[in-house]
Chains A and B, each alone.
Chain A
Amino acid sequence: MARQIVIDPLTRIEGHAKITLHLDEQGAVADARFHVTQVRGFERLCEGRPFDEMPSLMARICGICPVSHLIASAKACDMIMAVQIPETAAMLRRLINLAQLIQSHALSFFHLSSPDLLLGMDADPHQRNLFGVLQADPALARGGIRLRQFGQQVIESLGGKRIHPAWVVAGGVSAPLSAELRERILAGIPEAMAFTQHTIEWFKQIIERYSEEIQTFANFPSYFIGLVTADGQPEYYDGKLRIVDALGSITADQLEPRRYAEYFGEAVEPWTYLKFPYYKPVGYPEGMLRVGPLARLNLVDHCGTPQADRQWAAFRALQPGAVLSSFHYHYARLIEVLHALERMEQLLHEPDILDRQVRASAGVNHPEGIGVAEAPRGTLIHHYKVDEHGLITWANLLIATGHNNLAMNRGILQVARHFMNGAALTEGMLNRVEAVIRTFDPCLSCSTHALGNMPLHLQLVAPDGSVVDERWRS
């Protein structure tokens, strides 16, 4: 009799989800489904609101990456106003976006995933958490906290508060950067950079222990998508879309982000609220995408900053073509932190960074606005339509976690097939199913625009629909 396993809800990811593992008649895992069971409906919520309220409103989607939503939303509003924002404003938006990337990646790596990496996938779940890390390696825990704190402090200093800052506005930013703050941010960069470099070297040493996980954690061909500069560097604020395949070959390049609907299709499955974006020219599900740190490092020709370029070269040497294992999202995240710190330093030394002209103003000059940026988890798209009074009549959000949905499902299936031993749920398999999801660092609050907790519920389900085994983790 075929059966189904359900993991609901997952721990240490942002949001709420459940996993079902479907067994065939022989007891082997036939399918895996990552169900996102909440819906929040932000797109409907914003209808009728004035467009210039959108950045603040959209930032409420998420407490982890509100800055990403601010940026994408403000860019969409810039388009509605038909303004070109002052160059200093664009640099300051880049600065806060990089700070956001640092704090979010630090949260993912140190607070959420380092317990798996330091203590091992088979460690007791009661020990395999941040507090287990601080017992086993206080320096790593302390450094991770400091790194995230650095990113948060930059956001708070620029934006007025660390969560839901309102500094990024339609037309630019609401206040210029002070010389004192510039010096304060610069002063924090060396420590953050030294710790990040140290952690990258540590990570390179410990990954030898995880060869089995590297082989089985969503390790398969897919397309990779993200923003790049004209000369192939990573671009988090602006730029054009590039798509590469599993061989690392460029499939399409310098695509205009505002024409995203030509490149991204969205499939819907009846068992989840999270849609399945795919690369439209290839179709669904063959056009499976990955976005975020792993994708970005697979896309680029170089990073454009010396320390990150050195690490990027080692990363890309992991295998010919694109690096396919999602386990290496962790590695890519660390390299991106290093790059972000270097870019912040460059930006803060720009001669015009203290310029006081940081905001353009205008009314409604265009009925539609599209803003695209790279959030920590990948490409983020905000698309609004307004009436003649500037009130939102329609909104569409394509969220980074959504782009990875198909790959996450396939990754769970790959892990379950490899680590499932017999017809019962084992801790080792459960831990790895959770861990493969965490490599993507999904933000389900964002992707469903939902609200809620994230415990773990896994069910094993027979072909007749009966639940054969079930586990909950708070």
Chain B
Amino acid sequence: MAHALIIGYGNPLRQDDGFGWQAAQQCAAVLSPAQAKVIACHQLTPELAEIISRAGLVIFLDADSEQPPGRLSCRWIVAEPSVPAAFSHRVTPQSLLACAQALYGGHPAAVVLSISGVSFDYGEALSPAVDAVLPEILERVQALVAAVEHG
């Protein structure tokens, strides 16, 4: 079992929304399968709950539009089982933890590394401001994975 699980999500065809996807691919290139399992996906779905329940740490990589463009945020999150009805097949990181807890008996510590995007228009390339943050994300992920490896 991998100690860490990295889940990058977003739409790689909508510029900065593809940040999580691209960051996940870069993580997969530098981390060994023994260190971390890496998943890149369009959106979070309940099917991820099982693998989350078996991880030692889960790192979510995402893009948002909540802060000044290009700003990186790092938030440790906890399970939040109560969610409003919406697209119930598209879930939040917090509700995925709740899902893992309820269905599979537990969940690991979890952190969301998120970058505020500049542009979410059609296109596969990240904006320069967001692209520039990728190395820092990679460093942070490696540090988190190393911390899990060393207990």
Contacts and interface: CB of A to CB of B under 8 A. Distances in A.
A450 to B, nearest CB: 14
Contact of B82 (A63, A126, A163): A126
A145 B46 CA distance: 7
A142 B85 contact: no
Interface stretch (A130-138, A203-211, A247-255): A130-138
A141 B103 contact: yes
Nearest to B80: A131
Contacts of A14: 87
A129 B49 CA distance: 16
Given A131-B99, A135-B102, A142-B103, A112 B88 contact: yes
A111 B46 contact: yes
A223 to B, nearest CB: 31
A152 B87 contact: no
Contacts, number: 77
B141 to A, nearest CB: 22
A200 B10 CA distance: 35
Contact of A131 (B13, B83, B104): B83
Interface in A117-159: 125-131, 134-135, 138, 141-142, 145, 148-149, 152
A110 B103 CA distance: 14
Given A138-B102, A138-B103, A145-B47, A474 B86 contact: yes
B49 A135 contact: no
B124 to A, nearest CB: 12
B13 A60 contact: yes
Given A135-B102, A145-B103, A130 B46 contact: yes
Contacts of A152: 47
A126 B85 contact: yes
A107 B103 CA distance: 17
A111 B84 contact: no
B95 interface: yes
A130 B89 contact: yes
B103 A131 contact: no
B42 A111 contact: no
Contacts of A322: none
Given A130-B46, A149-B47, A152-B47, A12 B102 contact: no
B33 interface: no
B68 interface: no
Interface string B48-86: 011000000000000000000000000000000111111
Nearest to B49: A145
A173 to B, nearest CB: 23
A11 B85 CA distance: 7
A128 B47 contact: no
Contacts of A129: 83-86, 88
Nearest to A63: B42
Interface string B84-127: 11111101000100110011100000000000000000000000
B92 to A, nearest CB: 10
A473 B95 CA distance: 19
A454 interface: yes
Interface in A433-458: 453-455
A12 B46 contact: no
Interface string A144-186: 0100110010000000000100000000000000000000000
B85 A125 contact: yes
A393 B105 CA distance: 55
B73 to A, nearest CB: 22
A126 B84 contact: yes
B89 A107 contact: yes
Contacts of B91: 130
B65 to A, nearest CB: 13
Nearest to A103: B47
B103 A473 contact: no
A453 B50 CA distance: 26
Contact of B86 (A12, A149, A163): A12
B41 to A, nearest CB: 8
A378 interface: no
A163 B102 CA distance: 27
Nearest to B13: A60
Give the most central of A115, A129, A141, A454: most B CB within 10 Å: A129
B88 A111 contact: yes
Interface of B: 13, 41-43, 46-47, 49-50, 81-89, 91, 95, 98-99, 102-104
Given A112-B88, A112-B89, 5 more contacts: A111-B46, A126-B82, A131-B95, A138-B103, A141-B46
6 contacts: A12-B86, A12-B87, A111-B89, A145-B46, A163-B41, A474-B86
CB-based closest 10 A-B pairs: A130-B88, A111-B89, A129-B85, A125-B85, A129-B88, A149-B47, A134-B102, A142-B103, A145-B46, A11-B85
